[in-house]
Chains A and B, each alone.
Chain A
């Protein structure tokens, strides 16, 4: 959801004449939303501008975004950085995230019910956004 929110504000800013670059890790959400410039790093959600503690990688990703600001000439320009999250098992995190199988089906149903209760309570006491 963060990626959609950022995609929507990037679109607003471009329409207002402010050039934008998005650095993110949910490629489909950003590209479907449609932004001018996008630096994609194929990492688990949470570290779109580089691995924790890896200043060199952070610098390269941020630098790539700056390059893109200067060099893109059409909207929907996506650049993918070369980094790999886990060289030994790069499908492990992908398969684990948001998985649905028999091991967690009951827990997801319960989580959904708890979430709906929280949302109803938030709406009732004014913590939910309504305008």
Chain B
């Protein structure tokens, strides 16, 4: 199977290399300490860290796999399709990909609203792009449903409540591999 074609790394005319006293990419963990202290939170947030990481190999060729998409975006309150919980606080949900094509609601999530927008669904929930790969036979199928998980400060709620629920829906839908996109 040929790898996806992609452009060569480019510097766009800028000096590519140099010296820096910090990482080139943002450390959100580092930034968050000062940012939340400035908000009056005395203790820094305790981010999840794990040394050991599980690794599940593909069970069969990707061209035979059903792919399930996972997002942290939700439907706008009052515009949830049938079967998607409407109550707050947010709960995990499964919904038809077709119902998301008009876009999801994420203004309540923490992302860079000054520098970009989320009006193009495929920038954060690539349903259309994955359907193209399905048509071309690169993947077996995109699952008819995608899965939403609430962003939560509590590791425990994500680990014990929300993740097992979404695993359950994936098994109902015959999902073989998960494609997860945080905002």
Tally of A interface residues using CB under 8 Å: 88
Size class of the contact patch on chain B: 35 or more
Q: Contact partner of B28 among A8, A28, A46, CB < 8 A?
A: A28
Q: Once bound together, how far apart are the Cα atoms of A47 and B121, in whole Å?
A: 9
Given A2-B151, A21-B180, A34-B53, A127 and B58 contact (CB-CB distance below 8 Å): no
Q: Once bound together, how far apart are the Cα atoms of A21 and B155, in whole Å?
A: 20
- B12, A87: Cβ atoms under 8 Å? yes
Given A5-B150, A21-B179, A113 and B49 contact (CB-CB distance below 8 Å): no
- B129, A59: Cβ atoms under 8 Å? yes
Asked if A121 lies at the interface with its beta carbon under 8 angstroms from chain B, I say no
Given A60-B4, A82-B9, A116-B40, A5 and B158 contact (CB-CB distance below 8 Å): yes
Asked if B83 lies at the interface with its beta carbon under 8 angstroms from chain A, I say no
Hey, which chain B residues are within 8 Å of A1, CB to CB?
109-110, 151-153
Q: Once bound together, how far apart are the Cα atoms of A24 and B151, in whole Å?
A: 15
Q: How far is the CB of A14 from chain B (nearest CB, A)?
A: 4
Q: Once bound together, how far apart are the Cα atoms of A45 and B125, in whole Å?
A: 13
Q: Contact partner of B25 among A17, A27, A116, CB < 8 A?
A: A27
- B180, A6: Cβ atoms under 8 Å? yes
- Give the contacts of A64-100 with B (CB-CB under 8 A): 64-67, 69-70, 72, 74-76, 81-82, 84-85, 87, 90, 93-94, 96-98, 100
9 tightest A-B contacts by CB?
A: A63-B4, A112-B39, A87-B12, A44-B112, A12-B163, A75-B53, A2-B182, A6-B182, A47-B123
Known: A2-B109, A58-B123. 13 other contacts (CB 8 A): A1-B109, A5-B152, A18-B178, A20-B56, A45-B112, A46-B113, A46-B116, A49-B126, A60-B5, A62-B129, A67-B3, A100-B38, A109-B40
